């Protein structure tokens, strides 16, 4: 089977870590090099599918870990078929029966090597046991107890490799009445409070535009694995990491959770607005939208005096303090809206520049990736993506 290589443009958040520098040579010679991959030599067995677990292993791969992704034999990872869109086809691509590599799949599986193994069969299980013996980390997102039934649970794997870090990413965790329930981002968004606070005040609950609960869980799992690798240096023993979507989303409620736990304050939907700061929301302009976040009285004074040219607003007792503006939210929001609707967005972007009032345009995705800061910081890179190959072997 031949190897197919394509160049694809991808988002690369781990470049943040790769930008870290250290000085080399004699002091003051100005010579610097990129931080060497901190996880070089770490081997990861990736049994995770869809987004949360694969996000964690992709971030580890970005940092230099050797990730072997084990996929289902007949169709691969579920997300391979979540298309269109898919990566451009190559005429010489082998195995035409394989599903296309969807953009979704490629979003969370770069820098990995994939194999398909039927570990429900003795031969396949033997292959996985050999990989367990050679690995530093195993990441899986099966329903609790399923891999144990197949001979790949934590107890079985740590007998093979006592230094193995075994990370389970599930919907609700390894214990509790919901432990056997499947975990889906959109369900957890609703069940763990996020949808209740997302959407317009007079509208229905709304999901977030991306699977933020999955992504947050992947980040938590990635951090826990990094911590476990450090812990293993001290103990020479592996650990079992129990990471799940439900508790990750509970943690993601942040100040909303704190408001309830400390003051029993129930949350409501505020659209793009903030419950405790005014003005702090999206406003319409003549031809688009602008986010304004005047988080204190000084910023509001700059907004009224220097941008809106309405100094009487900051002097008015109804608007001079944030508490007063919260009490008179509807009135001041309407005043700002009427002012902004007099001009196009480009006009207001120039008016806001350099005055210390937080602001920003509401960009579409094309505008986002064409943003001067995204371009200057190299937020996306072109990488080589390899197609199927038969050059993989396990001993």
CATH class in words for 5-251: alpha beta
Sequential pLDDT tens for the chain (395 residues): 333 344 556 665 555 455 444 433 444 444 445 678 999 999 999 999 999 999 999 999 999 999 999 999 988 899 988 988 888 765 555 555 555 688 999 999 999 999 999 999 999 999 999 999 999 999 999 999 999 999 999 999 999 999 999 999 999 999 999 999 999 999 999 999 999 999 999 999 999 999 999 999 999 999 999 999 999 999 999 999 999 999 999 999 999 999 999 999 999 999 999 988 999 999 999 999 999 999 899 999 999 999 999 999 999 999 999 999 999 999 999 999 999 999 999 999 999 999 999 999 999 999 999 999 999 988 888 877 766 544 444 54
Whole-prediction pTM value? Answer: 0.86
Question: What whole-number distance in Å separates Cα of residue 112 and Cα of residue 109?
Answer: 6
Question: What whole-number distance in Å separates Cα of residue 284 and Cα of residue 272?
Answer: 12
Q: Residue 185: which residues within 8 A CB-CB, separation 6 or more?
A: 51, 52, 211, 212, 213, 214, 245
Residue numbers annotated as active site: 214
Give the domain 280-362 fold.
formyl-coa transferase, domain 3 (3.30.1540)
Question: What whole-number distance in Å separates Cα of residue 394 and Cα of residue 377?
Answer: 39
> Domain extents for the chain?
5-251, 280-362
Question: What whole-number distance in Å separates Cα of residue 273 and Cα of residue 35?
Answer: 40
Residue 181 host element (H or E): none
Residue 166 host element (H or E): strand 165-170
Fold equal for 5-251 and 280-362: no
Sheet of strand 43-47, all strands in order from the earlier edge strand to the far edge = 112-116, 66-71, 43-47, 137-140, 165-170, 240-244
């Amino acid at each position: 089977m031949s190897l197919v290589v394509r160049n694809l443009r991808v988002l690369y958040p781990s470049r943040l870590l790769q930008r870290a520098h250290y000085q080399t040579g004699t002091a003051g010679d100005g010579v610097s090099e990129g931080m060497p991959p901190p996880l070089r030599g770490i081997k990861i067995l990736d049994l995770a599918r869809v987004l949360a677990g694969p996000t964690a292993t992709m971030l580890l791969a970005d940092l230099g870990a050797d990730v072997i992704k084990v996929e289902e034999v007949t169709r691969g990872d579920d997300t391979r078929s979540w298309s269109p869109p898919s990566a451009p086809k190559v005429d010489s691509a082998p195995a035409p029966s394989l599903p296309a590599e969807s953009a979704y799949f490629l979003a969370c599986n770069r820098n990995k090597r994939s194999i398909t193994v039927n570990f429900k069969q003795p031969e396949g299980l033997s292959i996985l046991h050999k990989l367990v013996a050679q690995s530093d980390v195993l990441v899986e997102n099966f329903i609790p107890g399923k891999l144990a039934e197949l001979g790949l649970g934590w107890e079985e794997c740590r007998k093979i490799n006592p230094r193995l870090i075994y990370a389970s990413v599930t919907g609700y965790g390894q214990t509790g009445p919901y432990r056997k329930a499947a975990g889906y981002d959109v369900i957890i968004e609703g069940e763990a409070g996020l949808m209740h606070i997302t959407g317009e005040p007079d509208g229905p609950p709304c999901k977030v535009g991306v699977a933020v609960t999955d992504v947050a869980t992947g980040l938590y799992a990635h951090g826990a694995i990094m911590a476990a690798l450090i812990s293993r240096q001290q103990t020479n023993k592996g650990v079992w990491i129990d990471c799940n979507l439900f508790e990750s989303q509970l943690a993601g409620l942040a100040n909303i959770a704190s408001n309830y736990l400390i003051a029993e304050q129930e949350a409501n939907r505020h659209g793009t607005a903030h419950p405790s700061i005014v003005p702090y929301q999206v406003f319409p302009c003549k031809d688009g939208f602008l986010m304004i976040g005047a988080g204190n009285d000084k910023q509001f004074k700059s907004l009224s005096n220097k941008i809106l040219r309405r100094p009487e607003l900051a002097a008015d007792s109804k608007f001079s303090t944030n508490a007063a503006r919260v009490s008179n939210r509807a009135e001041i929001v309407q005043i700002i809206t009427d002012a902004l609707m007099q001009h196009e967005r480009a006009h207001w972007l120039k008016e806001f520049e350099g005055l210390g009032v937080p602001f920003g345009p509401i960009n579409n995705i094309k505008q986002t990736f064409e943003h001067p800061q995204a371009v200057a910081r190299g937020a996306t890179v072109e990488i080589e993506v390899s197609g199927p190959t038969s050059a993989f072997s396990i001993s």
